[in-house]
Amino acid sequence: MTFEQLDLIEPILNALTREGYKVPTPIQETAIPIVLNHKDLLGCAQTGTGKTAAFAIPILQNLHKKYPNQKQHRTVKVLIVTPTRELAIQIDESFNSYGRNLPFRHTVIFGGVNQNPQINALKAGVDILIATPGRLLDLQQQGFVHLQHLDVFVLDEADRMLDMGFIHDVKRLIRLIPEKRQSLFFSATMPDTIRTLAASILRSPEEVHVTPVSSTAETIEQAVYLVDAGNKRDLLLHLLEDKDIATALVFTRTKHGADKVQRYLSKGGIKAEAIHGNKSQNARQRALSNFKDRTTRVLVATDIAARGIDIDELNLVVNYELPNIPETYVHRIGRTGRAGLDGKAISFCDTEEKPYLKDIQKLIRIQIPVISDHPYPATAAVPEIRKNPSRPARSSAGRVVRKK
Ligand code: AMP
């Protein structure tokens, strides 16, 4: 299926092309028509499945149809509530991307920061508001958020919301929004408490289930190497001595980092190229096709640059630096082991990255096997990482194990 077949309007199709999206993900295929039809939706899906676009795209299209001339007073027409600041920012960025050719204004509000810039944005008028529950209620009580003209309400990551103790906030919020509205409800899991909450929000919803991303993680062989930051590049060179690795995608957190790793590998005699936002579109395309036809063995990339890259038969993903957003880990390792092929994901973890590792393991509900016997073991002690008790680390990357 293509995005055109979903009857999307030109401005959105163009924005998706610019994002490099070629085909809709399964949840997008199913959910976009439902939302375009103004139906309520109960989506069982995790971050990483493309669920943000699954709701953002049809919401934008419906707004465009209902408000073809964005001249009238801007009121909050769409409210998206999500549990964490990181998710809120990501959703805001998605609206920015998919709505780049449309005139709607969106803003994001979350706690833990000065409220004044957020108040100013609200005062300037927004059509789409993305918020975490606490700050939203706070600003609503202070009179800066008006929800009486709401058309669409999205509750994202409902199970995480409950885990984080936001249930009362959510219930309070429901009382503040118009009864006549379209509601979309997303949760990675559907225990009874979530179903009850969903039933209190949705009207005759359509249900969509997609395989959670963590199950992707279960099919990929994963390993973590504890290593000092300064030794990562030598550890990478050492691993790439294995001639069985025909292709490797190496992720760094920064553009600068990607260039540095690429230069080091090239000096070490390994054909490597880097792609990131500072490279021209042409340079990125060239690097990508060199990698695809195996002229280049190693592609070093940042997350943004690697979005939408689809590489068949990728042997290995290396997290040279661990991402601070755990979902990003799942996106990264999902590049390997596709279509039933064997895939391997290796992560380098230095002392400062240990909290990231913890978050990742919590999300994927897997204890990633730790490889200790390598030439560059970390010098610092490793207190809080629990090795899998039933499966001690082996010299090669172990098959992933589900946490009981
Ligand atoms: P989400 O589950 O919304 O967090 O999306 C996961 C990632 O997939 C994000 O980085 C999106 O930019 C990307 N993505 C979403 N839809 C598509 C698509 N149809 N094609 C390629 N990438 C996509």
pLDDT digits (tens, 9 = 90+) for 43-78: 988 766 789 999 999 999 999 999 987 666 789 999
Least confident of 107-116, 174-183, 207-216, 381-390: 381-390
For 165, 187, 208, the CA distances from 193, given in Å and listed in that order, are 13, 11, 18
**Domain coordinates in residue numbering, the chain:** 4-210, 220-364
End-to-end CA distance of the chain: 38
39 CA to centre of ligand 1 in angstroms:
23
| Ligand 1 nearest atom to the CA of residue 303, by list position | 10
How far apart CA 337 and CA 370 sit, in angstroms, is 20
In sequence order, the β-bridge partners of residue 182 are: 152
Residue nearest to atom 1 of ligand 1 (CA): 50
Residue nearest to atom 13 of ligand 1 (CA): 50
Residue nearest to atom 5 of ligand 1 (CA): 50
Residue nearest to atom 12 of ligand 1 (CA): 307
Q: Is the pLDDT of residue 404 over 80?
A: no
pLDDT at 112: 85
| Ligand 1 nearest atom to the CA of residue 47, by list position | 2
Q: What CATH class is the domain 220-364? A: alpha beta
| Residue 335 in contact with ligand 1 by CB distance below 6 A | no
Q: Is the pLDDT of residue 295 over 80?
A: yes
| 402 closest CA partner among 370, 371, 365, 369 | 365
pLDDT at 55: 98
Q: Is the pLDDT of residue 310 over 90?
A: no
Tens digits of residue pLDDT in 96-109: 999 999 999 999 99
Residue nearest to atom 16 of ligand 1 (CA): 50
Task: Determine the topology of domain 4-210 in CATH.
Answer: Rossmann fold (3.40.50)
7 burial via Cβ count (<10 Å: 0-12, 13-18, 19+): exposed
211 CA to centre of ligand 1 in angstroms:
15
| Residue 55 in contact with ligand 1 by CB distance below 6 A | no
Tens digits of residue pLDDT in 383-401: 444 444 333 333 232 233 2
Tens digits of residue pLDDT in 227-264: 999 999 999 999 999 998 999 999 999 999 999 999 99
Q: What share of the chain is helix, strand, coil (3-state, %, to 5)?
A: 40, 15, 45
H/E run at residue 175: helix 167-176
Our CA angle for 285, 314, 91, nearest 5°, is 65
- With beta carbons less than 8 A apart as the criterion, state whether 338 and 197 touch: no
| Residue 50 in contact with ligand 1 by CB distance below 6 A | yes
How far apart CA 285 and CA 228 sit, in angstroms, is 33
pLDDT at 153: 98
Tens digits of residue pLDDT in 127-163: 999 999 999 999 999 999 999 999 999 999 998 888 8
381 CA to centre of ligand 1 in angstroms:
37
